[in-house]
Structure 1
Amino acid sequence: MFDRIRRSFDLVRASAQVLRQDNHLLLFPLISAGAWLLLVAAFALPVFGLGPVDGMGEGGLYSIGFLFYVVQYFVIFYFNTALVGAVMIRLDGGSPTLADGLRIANARLPAILGYAVISATVGVILRAIQERLGFVGRLVVGLIGAGWALATFLVVPVIVTRDRGPMDSISESTALLKRTWGENVTGHIGMGAAFGLVYFGLAGGSVLLAILLLAAGAVSPVFFFLFGAVVVLALLACVLFQATLTGIYSAVLYRYAVDGSASAGFDKGLLASSFRQKS
Protein backbone atom coordinates (compact mmCIF):
# COMPACT_ATOMS: atom_id res chain seq x y z
CA MET A 1 0.00 0.00 0.00
CA PHE A 2 2.72 2.46 0.97
CA ASP A 3 4.63 1.59 -2.21
CA ARG A 4 1.55 2.41 -4.26
CA ILE A 5 1.15 5.76 -2.50
CA ARG A 6 4.83 6.55 -3.10
CA ARG A 7 4.56 5.76 -6.80
CA SER A 8 1.36 7.78 -6.99
CA PHE A 9 3.19 10.84 -5.63
CA ASP A 10 6.07 10.15 -8.04
CA LEU A 11 3.58 10.36 -10.92
CA VAL A 12 2.22 13.63 -9.55
CA ARG A 13 5.72 15.14 -9.36
CA ALA A 14 6.71 14.00 -12.86
CA SER A 15 3.46 15.26 -14.40
CA ALA A 16 3.79 18.56 -12.53
CA GLN A 17 7.15 19.14 -14.22
CA VAL A 18 5.38 19.17 -17.58
CA LEU A 19 2.62 21.40 -16.22
CA ARG A 20 5.18 23.94 -14.97
CA GLN A 21 6.32 24.42 -18.58
CA ASP A 22 2.76 25.01 -19.81
CA ASN A 23 0.56 26.33 -17.01
CA HIS A 24 -2.21 27.11 -19.48
CA LEU A 25 -2.89 23.36 -19.75
CA LEU A 26 -5.05 23.94 -16.66
CA LEU A 27 -7.46 25.85 -18.89
CA PHE A 28 -8.66 22.70 -20.65
CA PRO A 29 -10.24 21.02 -17.58
CA LEU A 30 -11.34 24.43 -16.29
CA ILE A 31 -13.30 25.18 -19.47
CA SER A 32 -14.57 21.59 -19.46
CA ALA A 33 -15.91 22.03 -15.92
CA GLY A 34 -17.66 25.26 -16.90
CA ALA A 35 -19.21 23.61 -19.96
CA TRP A 36 -20.33 20.67 -17.81
CA LEU A 37 -22.09 22.99 -15.35
CA LEU A 38 -23.93 24.67 -18.22
CA LEU A 39 -24.86 21.25 -19.54
CA VAL A 40 -26.29 20.17 -16.18
CA ALA A 41 -28.33 23.37 -16.00
CA ALA A 42 -29.57 22.91 -19.57
CA PHE A 43 -30.89 19.43 -18.73
CA ALA A 44 -32.05 20.06 -15.16
CA LEU A 45 -34.19 23.14 -15.80
CA PRO A 46 -36.47 21.62 -18.46
CA VAL A 47 -36.76 18.25 -16.68
CA PHE A 48 -37.29 19.41 -13.10
CA GLY A 49 -38.37 23.01 -13.50
CA LEU A 50 -40.76 23.05 -16.44
CA GLY A 51 -42.48 19.67 -16.32
CA PRO A 52 -43.31 16.73 -14.04
CA VAL A 53 -40.73 13.98 -14.05
CA ASP A 54 -43.20 11.33 -12.85
CA GLY A 55 -45.29 11.57 -16.01
CA MET A 56 -42.43 10.87 -18.37
CA GLY A 57 -42.33 7.13 -17.86
CA GLU A 58 -39.30 4.87 -17.56
CA GLY A 59 -38.58 5.00 -21.29
CA GLY A 60 -38.58 8.77 -21.34
CA LEU A 61 -36.29 8.99 -18.34
CA TYR A 62 -33.82 6.52 -19.86
CA SER A 63 -33.90 8.45 -23.16
CA ILE A 64 -33.11 11.72 -21.41
CA GLY A 65 -30.48 9.99 -19.30
CA PHE A 66 -28.85 8.52 -22.40
CA LEU A 67 -28.85 11.90 -24.15
CA PHE A 68 -27.34 13.51 -21.07
CA TYR A 69 -24.64 10.84 -20.93
CA VAL A 70 -23.78 11.38 -24.60
CA VAL A 71 -23.47 15.16 -24.32
CA GLN A 72 -21.63 14.92 -20.99
CA TYR A 73 -19.10 12.43 -22.33
CA PHE A 74 -18.68 14.45 -25.49
CA VAL A 75 -17.76 17.56 -23.47
CA ILE A 76 -15.34 15.61 -21.27
CA PHE A 77 -13.69 13.73 -24.15
CA TYR A 78 -13.47 16.86 -26.31
CA PHE A 79 -11.45 18.81 -23.77
CA ASN A 80 -9.44 15.72 -22.77
CA THR A 81 -8.51 15.32 -26.43
CA ALA A 82 -7.50 18.98 -26.58
CA LEU A 83 -5.41 18.59 -23.41
CA VAL A 84 -3.66 15.41 -24.56
CA GLY A 85 -3.08 16.93 -28.00
CA ALA A 86 -1.37 19.93 -26.43
CA VAL A 87 0.73 17.66 -24.21
CA MET A 88 1.82 15.66 -27.26
CA ILE A 89 3.09 18.88 -28.85
CA ARG A 90 5.11 19.61 -25.69
CA LEU A 91 6.53 16.06 -25.67
CA ASP A 92 7.67 16.62 -29.27
CA GLY A 93 9.54 19.73 -28.17
CA GLY A 94 6.96 22.33 -29.20
CA SER A 95 5.22 25.06 -27.25
CA PRO A 96 1.48 24.31 -27.42
CA THR A 97 -1.20 26.94 -27.04
CA LEU A 98 -4.85 26.67 -26.08
CA ALA A 99 -5.75 27.09 -29.76
CA ASP A 100 -3.46 24.18 -30.72
CA GLY A 101 -5.27 21.81 -28.39
CA LEU A 102 -8.72 22.93 -29.53
CA ARG A 103 -7.65 22.61 -33.18
CA ILE A 104 -6.63 19.00 -32.60
CA ALA A 105 -9.92 18.24 -30.83
CA ASN A 106 -11.92 19.89 -33.63
CA ALA A 107 -10.17 17.66 -36.16
CA ARG A 108 -11.26 14.57 -34.17
CA LEU A 109 -14.93 15.46 -33.67
CA PRO A 110 -16.42 12.34 -35.35
CA ALA A 111 -14.24 9.98 -33.28
CA ILE A 112 -14.97 11.94 -30.08
CA LEU A 113 -18.72 11.83 -30.72
CA GLY A 114 -18.61 8.12 -31.53
CA TYR A 115 -16.64 7.37 -28.38
CA ALA A 116 -19.13 9.44 -26.35
CA VAL A 117 -22.05 7.43 -27.75
CA ILE A 118 -20.32 4.12 -26.96
CA SER A 119 -19.44 5.26 -23.43
CA ALA A 120 -22.99 6.53 -22.87
CA THR A 121 -24.41 3.19 -23.99
CA VAL A 122 -22.13 1.35 -21.58
CA GLY A 123 -23.06 3.79 -18.80
CA VAL A 124 -26.82 3.39 -19.30
CA ILE A 125 -26.55 -0.41 -19.44
CA LEU A 126 -24.51 -0.50 -16.23
CA ARG A 127 -26.97 1.85 -14.54
CA ALA A 128 -29.90 -0.39 -15.54
CA ILE A 129 -28.08 -3.49 -14.21
CA GLN A 130 -27.36 -1.75 -10.92
CA GLU A 131 -30.96 -0.62 -10.45
CA ARG A 132 -32.47 -4.02 -11.25
CA LEU A 133 -30.09 -6.32 -9.37
CA GLY A 134 -29.49 -4.32 -6.20
CA PHE A 135 -26.40 -5.32 -4.25
CA VAL A 136 -25.41 -8.00 -6.78
CA GLY A 137 -25.85 -5.44 -9.53
CA ARG A 138 -23.49 -3.04 -7.78
CA LEU A 139 -20.84 -5.76 -7.60
CA VAL A 140 -21.28 -6.62 -11.28
CA VAL A 141 -21.22 -2.97 -12.29
CA GLY A 142 -18.09 -2.40 -10.23
CA LEU A 143 -16.25 -5.23 -11.97
CA ILE A 144 -17.41 -4.33 -15.47
CA GLY A 145 -16.80 -0.63 -14.87
CA ALA A 146 -13.25 -1.27 -13.68
CA GLY A 147 -12.55 -3.41 -16.73
CA TRP A 148 -14.00 -0.80 -19.06
CA ALA A 149 -11.94 2.00 -17.47
CA LEU A 150 -8.82 -0.13 -17.82
CA ALA A 151 -9.44 -1.10 -21.45
CA THR A 152 -10.17 2.50 -22.50
CA PHE A 153 -7.39 4.21 -20.52
CA LEU A 154 -5.38 5.02 -23.66
CA VAL A 155 -8.28 5.72 -26.02
CA VAL A 156 -7.91 9.52 -26.02
CA PRO A 157 -4.16 9.45 -26.84
CA VAL A 158 -4.92 6.96 -29.64
CA ILE A 159 -7.59 9.29 -31.05
CA VAL A 160 -5.15 12.21 -30.87
CA THR A 161 -2.18 10.53 -32.52
CA ARG A 162 -3.71 7.95 -34.85
CA ASP A 163 -6.95 9.69 -35.91
CA ARG A 164 -8.92 6.44 -35.75
CA GLY A 165 -12.59 5.73 -35.20
CA PRO A 166 -13.92 5.02 -31.71
CA MET A 167 -14.07 1.22 -32.01
CA ASP A 168 -10.59 1.00 -33.53
CA SER A 169 -9.30 3.32 -30.80
CA ILE A 170 -10.77 1.14 -28.05
CA SER A 171 -9.29 -1.96 -29.68
CA GLU A 172 -5.86 -0.34 -29.97
CA SER A 173 -5.98 0.90 -26.38
CA THR A 174 -6.66 -2.65 -25.20
CA ALA A 175 -4.00 -4.12 -27.49
CA LEU A 176 -1.34 -1.64 -26.30
CA LEU A 177 -2.20 -2.42 -22.71
CA LYS A 178 -1.83 -6.18 -23.19
CA ARG A 179 1.27 -5.92 -25.37
CA THR A 180 3.12 -3.66 -22.94
CA TRP A 181 1.98 -4.90 -19.55
CA GLY A 182 0.80 -8.46 -20.29
CA GLU A 183 -2.42 -10.39 -20.78
CA ASN A 184 -3.48 -10.55 -17.14
CA VAL A 185 -3.59 -6.85 -16.28
CA THR A 186 -6.03 -6.15 -13.44
CA GLY A 187 -5.52 -2.49 -12.50
CA HIS A 188 -3.26 0.52 -12.78
CA ILE A 189 -1.26 2.76 -10.49
CA GLY A 190 -2.54 6.27 -11.00
CA MET A 191 -2.66 9.49 -9.02
CA GLY A 192 -5.76 8.59 -7.03
CA ALA A 193 -3.87 7.55 -3.90
CA ALA A 194 -1.86 10.78 -3.79
CA PHE A 195 -4.82 13.06 -4.37
CA GLY A 196 -6.96 10.96 -2.03
CA LEU A 197 -4.54 11.81 0.77
CA VAL A 198 -4.58 15.47 -0.28
CA TYR A 199 -8.39 15.58 -0.21
CA PHE A 200 -8.50 13.77 3.13
CA GLY A 201 -5.93 16.10 4.64
CA LEU A 202 -7.65 19.21 3.34
CA ALA A 203 -11.12 18.12 4.49
CA GLY A 204 -9.90 16.76 7.84
CA GLY A 205 -7.75 19.80 8.54
CA SER A 206 -10.61 22.14 7.68
CA VAL A 207 -13.01 20.33 10.02
CA LEU A 208 -10.45 20.32 12.83
CA LEU A 209 -9.72 24.02 12.38
CA ALA A 210 -13.45 24.80 12.33
CA ILE A 211 -13.94 22.91 15.60
CA LEU A 212 -11.07 24.78 17.26
CA LEU A 213 -12.45 28.11 16.09
CA LEU A 214 -15.90 27.25 17.39
CA ALA A 215 -14.40 26.27 20.73
CA ALA A 216 -12.68 29.64 20.90
CA GLY A 217 -16.09 31.29 20.49
CA ALA A 218 -14.77 34.39 18.77
CA VAL A 219 -15.72 33.66 15.15
CA SER A 220 -18.58 35.34 13.32
CA PRO A 221 -20.98 33.58 10.88
CA VAL A 222 -19.54 35.70 8.06
CA PHE A 223 -16.07 34.36 8.79
CA PHE A 224 -17.32 30.78 8.67
CA PHE A 225 -19.02 31.44 5.35
CA LEU A 226 -15.79 32.80 3.91
CA PHE A 227 -13.85 29.95 5.48
CA GLY A 228 -16.17 27.39 3.85
CA ALA A 229 -15.85 29.16 0.49
CA VAL A 230 -12.04 28.99 0.70
CA VAL A 231 -12.17 25.26 1.51
CA VAL A 232 -14.48 24.57 -1.43
CA LEU A 233 -12.25 26.56 -3.77
CA ALA A 234 -9.21 24.65 -2.52
CA LEU A 235 -10.95 21.32 -3.20
CA LEU A 236 -11.97 22.48 -6.67
CA ALA A 237 -8.38 23.55 -7.36
CA CYS A 238 -7.19 20.06 -6.39
CA VAL A 239 -9.73 18.51 -8.76
CA LEU A 240 -8.52 20.81 -11.53
CA PHE A 241 -4.88 19.88 -10.96
CA GLN A 242 -5.71 16.18 -10.79
CA ALA A 243 -7.57 16.27 -14.11
CA THR A 244 -4.71 18.13 -15.81
CA LEU A 245 -1.97 15.90 -14.42
CA THR A 246 -3.93 12.77 -15.34
CA GLY A 247 -4.15 13.99 -18.95
CA ILE A 248 -0.39 14.55 -18.99
CA TYR A 249 0.21 11.12 -17.50
CA SER A 250 -1.99 9.39 -20.10
CA ALA A 251 -0.07 11.04 -22.94
CA VAL A 252 3.31 10.00 -21.51
CA LEU A 253 2.06 6.50 -20.76
CA TYR A 254 0.82 6.14 -24.34
CA ARG A 255 4.24 7.11 -25.67
CA TYR A 256 5.81 4.49 -23.43
CA ALA A 257 3.34 1.83 -24.62
CA VAL A 258 4.05 2.64 -28.28
CA ASP A 259 7.86 2.81 -28.33
CA GLY A 260 9.10 2.18 -24.78
CA SER A 261 10.35 5.74 -24.31
CA ALA A 262 10.08 7.66 -21.04
CA SER A 263 9.22 11.24 -21.94
CA ALA A 264 9.36 14.50 -20.00
CA GLY A 265 11.48 13.27 -17.12
CA PHE A 266 9.29 10.28 -16.23
CA ASP A 267 11.15 7.30 -14.83
CA LYS A 268 10.92 4.29 -17.15
CA GLY A 269 10.62 1.92 -14.20
CA LEU A 270 7.68 3.94 -12.88
CA LEU A 271 5.91 3.70 -16.23
CA ALA A 272 6.69 -0.01 -16.48
CA SER A 273 4.97 -0.60 -13.14
CA SER A 274 1.91 1.54 -13.97
CA PHE A 275 -0.26 -1.54 -14.39
CA ARG A 276 -0.27 -4.60 -12.17
CA GLN A 277 -0.86 -8.25 -13.00
CA LYS A 278 -3.46 -10.54 -11.51
CA SER A 279 -2.01 -12.49 -8.63
Structure 2
Amino acid sequence: MRLLQRLKTGLVLTKDSLSLMNNNRSLFVFPAVGGIAGLTFLALFFGVTFGLLAVTMDGVMIVGLFFSYLALTFVTTFFSAGLVHQTREVLGGNDASLKRGMAAAWKVKGHLFVWSLISATIGLLINAIENSESRVARLLGTIFGVAWTLMTFFVVPVIVFEKSSTTGLFKRSAETFKQTWGEAPITLVAINIVGAIVAVPFVLPGIYLINTGVGIVGIGLVLSGVLLSFLISQTLQGVVKTTLYLYARDGKRPEEFDNVDFDDLTNESAGRSTTQTPSYGGVQ
Protein backbone atom coordinates (compact mmCIF):
# COMPACT_ATOMS: atom_id res chain seq x y z
CA MET A 1 0.00 0.00 0.00
CA ARG A 2 1.32 3.39 -0.93
CA LEU A 3 2.05 5.93 1.78
CA LEU A 4 -0.80 8.24 0.70
CA GLN A 5 -3.24 5.32 0.84
CA ARG A 6 -2.08 4.46 4.35
CA LEU A 7 -2.50 8.06 5.43
CA LYS A 8 -6.00 8.11 3.96
CA THR A 9 -6.82 4.89 5.79
CA GLY A 10 -5.65 6.45 9.06
CA LEU A 11 -7.90 9.48 8.56
CA VAL A 12 -10.93 7.37 7.65
CA LEU A 13 -10.26 5.15 10.67
CA THR A 14 -10.19 8.20 12.94
CA LYS A 15 -13.49 9.47 11.48
CA ASP A 16 -15.19 6.10 11.93
CA SER A 17 -13.82 5.83 15.46
CA LEU A 18 -15.47 9.17 16.29
CA SER A 19 -18.75 7.77 14.97
CA LEU A 20 -18.31 4.61 17.06
CA MET A 21 -17.67 6.73 20.17
CA ASN A 22 -20.75 8.84 19.50
CA ASN A 23 -22.89 5.70 19.25
CA ASN A 24 -21.33 4.13 22.37
CA ARG A 25 -20.90 7.04 24.78
CA SER A 26 -20.44 4.73 27.75
CA LEU A 27 -16.83 4.33 26.55
CA PHE A 28 -16.18 7.88 27.79
CA VAL A 29 -16.58 6.69 31.37
CA PHE A 30 -13.14 5.03 31.37
CA PRO A 31 -10.98 8.15 30.83
CA ALA A 32 -13.46 10.14 32.95
CA VAL A 33 -13.15 7.89 35.98
CA GLY A 34 -9.41 7.49 35.38
CA GLY A 35 -8.99 11.26 35.24
CA ILE A 36 -10.96 11.76 38.45
CA ALA A 37 -8.94 9.08 40.21
CA GLY A 38 -5.70 10.64 39.01
CA LEU A 39 -6.70 14.16 40.09
CA THR A 40 -7.81 12.86 43.49
CA PHE A 41 -4.47 11.17 43.99
CA LEU A 42 -2.63 14.32 42.94
CA ALA A 43 -4.62 16.44 45.39
CA LEU A 44 -3.91 14.05 48.25
CA PHE A 45 -0.24 13.68 47.37
CA PHE A 46 0.53 17.35 46.99
CA GLY A 47 -1.51 18.19 50.05
CA VAL A 48 0.73 15.94 52.13
CA THR A 49 3.86 16.99 50.25
CA PHE A 50 3.42 20.71 50.79
CA GLY A 51 2.42 20.11 54.37
CA LEU A 52 5.73 18.38 55.04
CA LEU A 53 7.81 20.53 52.70
CA ALA A 54 9.57 22.38 55.50
CA VAL A 55 10.99 19.19 56.97
CA THR A 56 11.55 17.18 53.76
CA MET A 57 14.94 16.69 52.12
CA ASP A 58 15.37 17.25 48.40
CA GLY A 59 16.22 13.60 47.78
CA VAL A 60 13.03 12.48 49.49
CA MET A 61 11.07 14.98 47.42
CA ILE A 62 12.50 13.58 44.20
CA VAL A 63 11.63 10.04 45.23
CA GLY A 64 8.15 11.17 46.22
CA LEU A 65 7.59 12.89 42.90
CA PHE A 66 8.75 9.79 41.04
CA PHE A 67 6.30 7.58 42.91
CA SER A 68 3.51 10.09 42.28
CA TYR A 69 4.31 9.98 38.56
CA LEU A 70 4.39 6.18 38.70
CA ALA A 71 1.02 6.05 40.45
CA LEU A 72 -0.55 8.42 37.93
CA THR A 73 0.88 6.40 35.06
CA PHE A 74 -0.53 3.19 36.53
CA VAL A 75 -3.99 4.73 37.07
CA THR A 76 -4.05 6.02 33.49
CA THR A 77 -2.82 2.70 32.08
CA PHE A 78 -5.28 0.70 34.18
CA PHE A 79 -8.32 2.57 32.88
CA SER A 80 -6.88 2.56 29.37
CA ALA A 81 -6.73 -1.24 29.60
CA GLY A 82 -10.38 -1.31 30.62
CA LEU A 83 -11.26 0.94 27.68
CA VAL A 84 -9.34 -1.26 25.23
CA HIS A 85 -11.07 -4.39 26.51
CA GLN A 86 -14.53 -2.86 26.28
CA THR A 87 -13.87 -1.42 22.84
CA ARG A 88 -13.44 -4.98 21.66
CA GLU A 89 -16.78 -5.82 23.29
CA VAL A 90 -18.45 -2.92 21.49
CA LEU A 91 -16.94 -4.08 18.20
CA GLY A 92 -18.46 -7.46 18.97
CA GLY A 93 -21.93 -5.96 19.28
CA ASN A 94 -22.07 -5.74 23.09
CA ASP A 95 -22.56 -2.76 25.39
CA ALA A 96 -19.57 -1.30 27.21
CA SER A 97 -19.42 -1.96 30.95
CA LEU A 98 -17.16 -0.20 33.44
CA LYS A 99 -17.36 -3.19 35.79
CA ARG A 100 -16.30 -5.70 33.13
CA GLY A 101 -13.57 -3.42 31.85
CA MET A 102 -12.13 -2.94 35.33
CA ALA A 103 -12.30 -6.70 35.96
CA ALA A 104 -10.35 -7.35 32.75
CA ALA A 105 -7.73 -4.74 33.70
CA TRP A 106 -7.43 -6.21 37.20
CA LYS A 107 -6.56 -9.61 35.74
CA VAL A 108 -3.42 -8.11 34.15
CA LYS A 109 -2.61 -5.64 36.94
CA GLY A 110 0.89 -7.08 37.37
CA HIS A 111 1.74 -6.56 33.72
CA LEU A 112 0.22 -3.09 33.83
CA PHE A 113 2.29 -2.15 36.87
CA VAL A 114 5.54 -3.34 35.28
CA TRP A 115 4.74 -1.38 32.14
CA SER A 116 3.85 1.70 34.23
CA LEU A 117 7.17 1.46 36.04
CA ILE A 118 9.08 1.31 32.75
CA SER A 119 6.96 4.04 31.19
CA ALA A 120 7.33 6.37 34.18
CA THR A 121 11.10 5.90 34.26
CA ILE A 122 11.57 6.47 30.54
CA GLY A 123 9.13 9.38 30.62
CA LEU A 124 11.09 11.16 33.34
CA LEU A 125 14.36 10.56 31.48
CA ILE A 126 12.93 11.96 28.25
CA ASN A 127 11.59 14.97 30.13
CA ALA A 128 15.00 15.58 31.73
CA ILE A 129 16.73 15.41 28.34
CA GLU A 130 14.18 17.71 26.70
CA ASN A 131 14.72 20.27 29.46
CA SER A 132 18.49 20.18 29.05
CA GLU A 133 20.36 23.37 28.22
CA SER A 134 21.89 21.68 25.19
CA ARG A 135 19.95 22.13 21.96
CA VAL A 136 21.34 18.87 20.61
CA ALA A 137 20.20 17.02 23.73
CA ARG A 138 16.74 18.56 23.47
CA LEU A 139 16.49 17.53 19.81
CA LEU A 140 17.62 13.99 20.58
CA GLY A 141 15.18 13.85 23.49
CA THR A 142 12.31 14.88 21.22
CA ILE A 143 13.26 12.31 18.58
CA PHE A 144 13.57 9.57 21.17
CA GLY A 145 10.26 10.61 22.72
CA VAL A 146 8.43 10.31 19.41
CA ALA A 147 10.09 6.96 18.65
CA TRP A 148 9.20 5.67 22.12
CA THR A 149 5.56 6.73 21.72
CA LEU A 150 5.22 4.97 18.38
CA MET A 151 7.09 1.82 19.42
CA THR A 152 4.92 1.39 22.52
CA PHE A 153 1.64 2.51 20.94
CA PHE A 154 0.12 -0.99 21.12
CA VAL A 155 1.56 -2.07 24.49
CA VAL A 156 -1.77 -1.87 26.35
CA PRO A 157 -3.72 -3.99 23.81
CA VAL A 158 -0.87 -6.52 23.87
CA ILE A 159 -1.09 -6.69 27.67
CA VAL A 160 -4.88 -7.04 27.68
CA PHE A 161 -5.25 -9.58 24.88
CA GLU A 162 -1.96 -11.50 24.96
CA LYS A 163 -0.55 -11.12 28.49
CA SER A 164 2.97 -11.20 27.05
CA SER A 165 6.18 -11.15 29.05
CA THR A 166 7.90 -7.81 29.65
CA THR A 167 10.21 -8.22 26.67
CA GLY A 168 7.35 -9.60 24.62
CA LEU A 169 5.35 -6.41 25.15
CA PHE A 170 7.85 -4.32 23.22
CA LYS A 171 8.35 -6.93 20.51
CA ARG A 172 4.64 -7.39 19.82
CA SER A 173 3.90 -3.66 20.03
CA ALA A 174 6.75 -2.90 17.62
CA GLU A 175 5.61 -5.67 15.24
CA THR A 176 2.08 -4.28 15.19
CA PHE A 177 3.36 -0.77 14.60
CA LYS A 178 5.49 -2.07 11.73
CA GLN A 179 2.29 -3.37 10.10
CA THR A 180 0.55 -0.04 10.67
CA TRP A 181 3.50 2.29 10.07
CA GLY A 182 1.33 4.69 8.06
CA GLU A 183 -1.98 4.45 9.86
CA ALA A 184 -0.78 4.65 13.48
CA PRO A 185 1.16 7.95 13.19
CA ILE A 186 -1.55 9.71 11.18
CA THR A 187 -4.22 8.66 13.66
CA LEU A 188 -2.09 10.10 16.49
CA VAL A 189 -1.86 13.40 14.61
CA ALA A 190 -5.59 13.31 13.84
CA ILE A 191 -6.42 12.63 17.49
CA ASN A 192 -4.40 15.66 18.58
CA ILE A 193 -6.16 17.79 15.96
CA VAL A 194 -9.56 16.60 17.15
CA GLY A 195 -8.58 17.41 20.74
CA ALA A 196 -7.51 20.92 19.71
CA ILE A 197 -10.72 21.51 17.75
CA VAL A 198 -12.79 20.48 20.77
CA ALA A 199 -10.82 22.73 23.13
CA VAL A 200 -10.63 25.91 21.01
CA PRO A 201 -14.30 27.04 21.39
CA PHE A 202 -13.82 26.99 25.15
CA VAL A 203 -10.20 28.07 25.55
CA LEU A 204 -10.20 31.13 23.31
CA PRO A 205 -13.27 32.78 24.89
CA GLY A 206 -11.92 31.78 28.29
CA ILE A 207 -8.60 33.51 27.66
CA TYR A 208 -10.44 36.59 26.40
CA LEU A 209 -12.58 36.74 29.54
CA ILE A 210 -9.52 36.29 31.76
CA ASN A 211 -7.79 39.19 30.01
CA THR A 212 -10.88 41.39 30.37
CA GLY A 213 -11.20 40.80 34.10
CA VAL A 214 -13.88 38.07 34.18
CA GLY A 215 -11.40 35.60 35.63
CA ILE A 216 -13.66 33.00 37.26
CA VAL A 217 -15.81 32.47 34.18
CA GLY A 218 -12.75 32.49 31.92
CA ILE A 219 -10.90 29.93 34.01
CA GLY A 220 -14.02 27.76 34.06
CA LEU A 221 -14.24 27.82 30.27
CA VAL A 222 -10.55 27.01 29.83
CA LEU A 223 -10.75 24.09 32.26
CA SER A 224 -13.92 22.82 30.58
CA GLY A 225 -12.23 22.89 27.19
CA VAL A 226 -9.12 21.11 28.46
CA LEU A 227 -11.11 18.42 30.28
CA LEU A 228 -13.46 17.81 27.33
CA SER A 229 -10.49 17.61 24.97
CA PHE A 230 -8.78 15.11 27.28
CA LEU A 231 -11.92 12.98 27.54
CA ILE A 232 -12.51 12.77 23.80
CA SER A 233 -8.82 12.36 22.88
CA GLN A 234 -8.20 9.53 25.35
CA THR A 235 -11.34 7.66 24.33
CA LEU A 236 -10.58 8.12 20.64
CA GLN A 237 -7.03 6.88 21.11
CA GLY A 238 -8.29 3.75 22.90
CA VAL A 239 -10.77 2.97 20.12
CA VAL A 240 -8.25 3.58 17.33
CA LYS A 241 -5.41 1.53 18.80
CA THR A 242 -7.76 -1.36 19.66
CA THR A 243 -9.21 -1.45 16.15
CA LEU A 244 -5.81 -1.28 14.47
CA TYR A 245 -4.36 -3.89 16.82
CA LEU A 246 -7.18 -6.39 16.31
CA TYR A 247 -7.13 -6.04 12.56
CA ALA A 248 -3.34 -6.16 12.23
CA ARG A 249 -3.30 -9.24 14.43
CA ASP A 250 -6.30 -11.19 13.15
CA GLY A 251 -7.05 -9.77 9.69
CA LYS A 252 -10.75 -9.37 10.62
CA ARG A 253 -12.65 -6.21 9.72
CA PRO A 254 -15.04 -4.75 12.33
CA GLU A 255 -18.43 -4.05 10.79
CA GLU A 256 -18.26 -0.43 11.95
CA PHE A 257 -15.19 0.10 9.72
CA ASP A 258 -16.42 -1.35 6.41
CA ASN A 259 -15.21 1.72 4.50
CA VAL A 260 -11.65 1.47 5.86
CA ASP A 261 -9.15 -0.07 3.43
CA PHE A 262 -7.24 -2.60 5.52
CA ASP A 263 -6.11 -4.74 2.56
CA ASP A 264 -2.39 -4.20 3.11
CA LEU A 265 -2.65 -5.20 6.76
CA THR A 266 -4.50 -8.33 5.71
CA ASN A 267 -1.68 -9.30 3.37
CA GLU A 268 0.97 -8.70 6.04
CA SER A 269 -0.84 -10.63 8.76
CA ALA A 270 -1.87 -13.53 6.52
CA GLY A 271 1.42 -15.33 6.94
CA ARG A 272 1.65 -14.81 10.69
CA SER A 273 0.73 -17.41 13.28
CA THR A 274 -2.71 -16.95 14.84
CA THR A 275 -2.44 -19.62 17.52
CA GLN A 276 -3.37 -17.06 20.17
CA THR A 277 -6.11 -15.44 18.09
CA PRO A 278 -9.38 -15.08 20.00
CA SER A 279 -12.71 -14.95 18.24
CA TYR A 280 -14.73 -11.76 18.13
CA GLY A 281 -18.32 -11.12 17.26
CA GLY A 282 -19.22 -8.39 14.85
CA VAL A 283 -16.18 -8.83 12.64
CA GLN A 284 -15.86 -10.30 9.20
- Normalised by the length of structure 2, the TM-score is 0.77
Q: Report % sequence identity.
A: 26
Shift in CA distance, 271/51, structure 1 to aligned 2, threshold 3 Å: farther
- Cα drift, residue 4 of structure 1: 11
| 1:258 maps to which of 236, 243, 249 | 249
- Cα drift, residue 185 of structure 1: 9.8
Aligned residue number for residue 242 of structure 1:
233
- Cα drift, residue 207 of structure 1: 4.9
Letter in structure 2 aligned against 1:198? V
- More deviation in 28-37 or 85-94? 85-94
Aligned residue number for residue 34 of structure 1:
36
- Structure 1 residue 268 and structure 2 residue 227: aligned? no
Determine if contact 2:9/2:262 at 8 Å carries over to the other structure: yes
Aligned residue number for residue 280 of structure 2:
none
- Structure 1 residue 50 and structure 2 residue 52: aligned? yes
Aligned residue number for residue 20 of structure 2:
18
Letter in structure 1 aligned against 2:152? T
- Structure 1 CA distance, aligned partners of 2:127 and 2:23? 40
- Structure 1 CA distance, aligned partners of 2:220 and 2:8? 31
Residue correspondences, number:
258
| 1:189 maps to which of 187, 191, 199 | 187
Deviations 1:156-209 (A, max 9, x none): 11111112233312210001222x146x9994432112322333354335556x
Shift in CA distance, 228/39, structure 1 to aligned 2, threshold 3 Å: closer
Determine if contact 2:205/2:218 at 8 Å carries over to the other structure: no
- Structure 2 CA distance, aligned partners of 1:128 and 1:246? 26
- Structure 1 CA distance, aligned partners of 2:205 and 2:10? 22
- More deviation in 259-268 or 80-89? 259-268
- Cα drift, residue 61 of structure 1: 3.7
Aligned residue number for residue 86 of structure 1:
86
- Cα drift, residue 228 of structure 1: 4.4
3-state DSSP class of the match of 2:105? helix
- Structure 1 CA distance, aligned partners of 2:260 and 2:175? 20
Q: Which runs of 5+ in 2 are unaligned?
A: 266-284
Determine if contact 1:5/1:193 at 8 Å carries over to the other structure: no
Structure with larger RCO (C-alpha < 8 A, sep 6+): 1
Aligned residue number for residue 277 of structure 1:
none
Determine if contact 1:4/1:193 at 8 Å carries over to the other structure: no
Shift in CA distance, 271/158, structure 1 to aligned 2, threshold 3 Å: farther
Aligned residue number for residue 137 of structure 2:
137
Q: Which runs of 5+ in 1 are unaligned?
A: 215-219, 274-279
Q: CA RMSD in A?
A: 3.3
Determine if contact 2:158/2:173 at 8 Å carries over to the other structure: yes
Aligned residue number for residue 217 of structure 1:
none
Letter in structure 2 aligned against 1:199? A
- Structure 1 residue 118 and structure 2 residue 109: aligned? no
Determine if contact 1:87/1:251 at 8 Å carries over to the other structure: yes
Aligned residue number for residue 270 of structure 2:
none
Aligned residue number for residue 273 of structure 2:
none
3-state DSSP class of the match of 1:120? helix
- Cα drift, residue 56 of structure 1: 1.8
Determine if contact 2:11/2:186 at 8 Å carries over to the other structure: no
3-state DSSP class of the match of 1:42? helix
3-state DSSP class of the match of 1:93? coil
- Structure 1 CA distance, aligned partners of 2:206 and 2:216? 13
Determine if contact 1:256/1:271 at 8 Å carries over to the other structure: no
3-state DSSP class of the match of 2:57? helix
Aligned residue number for residue 108 of structure 1:
108
Shift in CA distance, 203/272, structure 1 to aligned 2, threshold 3 Å: farther
- Cα drift, residue 134 of structure 1: 3.7
Deviations 1:10-58 (A, max 9, x none): 44431132223432211111111111112212321222222238x623x
